[in-house]
Amino acid sequence: MDVIDLSWWQLGLAALMVVVLAACTWAARLNVATPLLIAATRTVIQLALIGLVLEALFAVGALGWISLMALVMLLVAGREVMARQKHRLTGGWAFGVGTLSMFISAFSVTILTLVVIIGPEPWYTPQYAIPLLGMMLGNTMTGVALSLDRLTETVWRQRAVIENRLMLGQPWQVAIGDIRREAMRSGMMPMVNAMAAAGIVSLPGMMTGQILAGSPPNVAVKYQILIMFTITVGTGFGAFAAVMAGSRRLFDDRERLRIDRLSAARN
Amino acid sequence: MPQLQLRGLGNALLEAVDLTVGPGRVVCVSGPSGSGKSRLLRAIADLEPHEGAVCLDETDRSSLPAHVWRARVMLVPAESQWWGETVSEHFVQPMPQALKALGFEPDAASWMVSRLSSGEKQRLALIRALACEPQALLLDEPTANLDDAGSRTVEDWLLAEVRRRSLPVLWVAHDSAQIKRVGDRHFHIRAGRLEST
């Protein structure tokens, strides 16, 4: 079955519907028309650009260029993780811990999936590698950001409790144990929820896309399950690494809580 | 017989302190607020960066993991913190006699933390600390939230435990009558220096 290509006038019809929506909200003075149009324009420009980049990348297919693309994606995700935290680790650690956790988890799971499970020839074939890595990084980023934010925020609020537990002779891992568990949980919950709701409440985006593009549903389902599992593993190990490294950094070699290694809240 | 020895202990607020507290002895420390009393205790418990060394008996602090040191040289802060739902979750062993001595019902261990008054918390925090069987005590205003009668009960009980267990004690206090009652020696912090009085 061939994919029905979309022509520009067909996309134009969809765009026209957005414009109609904007006109209606403008007429009713609901003040969302401007941001709506700006966001819609951004979508067109950003996706058109990435389309060009991907076309070029697919044409070249060289490992060097694919790695460069992956590196840019990783650094942008690292920046995003840092920006979402209220109390950051100081001295570059917020960026470092987040980026390293995502690198360890998202990259190794993507490469493992490519080499062992999907097995395209060569393994870094960009048609497989880049979308897979993008989906991994996007979700791992959310997990790492949520768990790091919960970790640092809770430690900041409960520093007196942690110190009192240290005074009673508890090792630092015990004194921060509850907080670690909470942070890990909040990083994992989105994926646990997504897996629980998949197919019943929601048809996942990738599967929908594949079916629309002409794949038989049972192939789409298998890919979707693969993606769900790999994303969960990536998110889980990413959050795990971030929570472990982040909490270790909050104590020094004499097991003192170093609250001075967190920045005060930004406004 | 454990004795607590401070050698050149100091931080930004306090000039280096040399001090030895013998077993079963209580050394009181007083001083205006913000003079560094609490931070002196925190430094001894190794809770924040500082200079100097501390020994308990012949054991140097740096030779022990920090949490082992803190379990032996236990700091009881003025404001105690509670993380569990019930009182007993915070105790490493039941302390029925201590509870009775400080005027608690026998079922106090099953009380909800959220319903404790500040005075109850303060007394329970002292019992909680002694349940860990420390070898030295650092007390930061242990009777700050208690009335006179309550303070006297806690003082008597603490002194009896200190003598029985031969604990060296550093006791931060501001009430001069209390210092007279409990202290074997008394130091006052003035302009960043520990002065004997």
> In the β-sheet with B59-60, what is the strand arrangement from edge to edge?
B17-21, B4-10, B51-56, B59-60
Q: Domain count for chain B, please give it.
A: 1
Question: Mind listing the pLDDT tens digit of every residue in chain A (267 residues)?
Answer: 466 778 888 999 999 999 999 999 999 999 899 999 999 999 999 999 999 999 999 999 899 999 999 999 999 999 999 988 999 999 999 999 999 999 999 999 999 999 999 899 899 999 999 989 998 999 999 999 999 999 999 999 999 999 999 999 999 999 999 999 999 999 999 999 999 998 888 788 888 888 888 889 999 999 889 989 999 999 999 999 999 999 999 999 999 999 999 998 765
Say if the Cβ atoms of A254 and B46 lie within 8 Å: yes
| Nearest-by-CA chain A residue for B81 | A161
Helix (H) or strand (E) segment spanning residue B187: strand B185-190
CATH number at residue B92: 3.40.50.300
Model pLDDT, residue A2:
61
User: Where are the alpha helices (H) located in chain A, listed in sequence order?
Assistant: 8-27, 33-60, 63-83, 93-102, 108-112, 126-157, 159-167, 172-175, 177-197, 205-212, 217-249
A165 contacts in B (CB within 8 Å)?
81, 83
Nearest to B74 among A160, A167, A172 (CB): A167
A258 φ/ψ angles, rounded to the nearest 5 degrees: -105, 75
- Where in the sequence is the domain holding B144, given as residue range(s)? 4-196
Structure-derived torsion over alpha carbons of residues A130, A136, A138, A143, reported in degrees to the nearest 10:
-170
**Where do the structural domains in chain A lie, given as residue ranges?**
1-60, 61-261
B129 contacts in A (CB within 8 Å)?
168
Say if the Cβ atoms of A254 and B77 lie within 8 Å: no
Tokens 């490519």 identify what position?
A: A114
Residues β-bridged to residue B138: B75, B170
Query: Is residue B135 a contact partner of residue B72, using CB atoms and an 8 Å limit?
Result: yes
Query: Is residue A133 a contact partner of residue A106, using CB atoms and an 8 Å limit?
Result: yes
pLDDT tens digits, B80-100: 999 999 999 999 999 999 999
CB–CB contacts below 8 A, A to B = 56
Say if the Cβ atoms of B47 and A172 lie within 8 Å: no
Task: Tell me the nearest-neighbour CA distance from A161 into chain B, angstroms.
Answer: 5
Strand bridging mode B4-10 / B193-196: unpaired
User: Where are the alpha helices (H) located in chain B, listed in sequence order?
Assistant: 37-44, 66-72, 96-101, 118-131, 148-165, 176-182
Model pLDDT, residue A266:
65
Measured between alpha carbons, how far apart are the two ends of chain A, in Å? 54
Q: Which of B83, B95, B130 would you mutate first to test chain A, the one with the most A CBs within 10 A?
A: B83
The ipTM of this complex is 0.96
* Nearest alpha carbon to residue A247 among A165, A150, A169: A150
pLDDT tens digits, B35-48: 999 999 999 999 99
- CA dist B126 and B143 (Å) reads 10
For chain B, the residues whose C-beta falls within 8 A of a C-beta of chain A are 45-49, 65-68, 70-72, 74-77, 79-83, 128-129, 132, 134
> In the β-sheet with B26-30, what is the strand arrangement from edge to edge?
B73-76, B136-140, B169-172, B26-30, B185-190, B193-196
Nearest to B80 among A164, A171, A252 (CB): A164
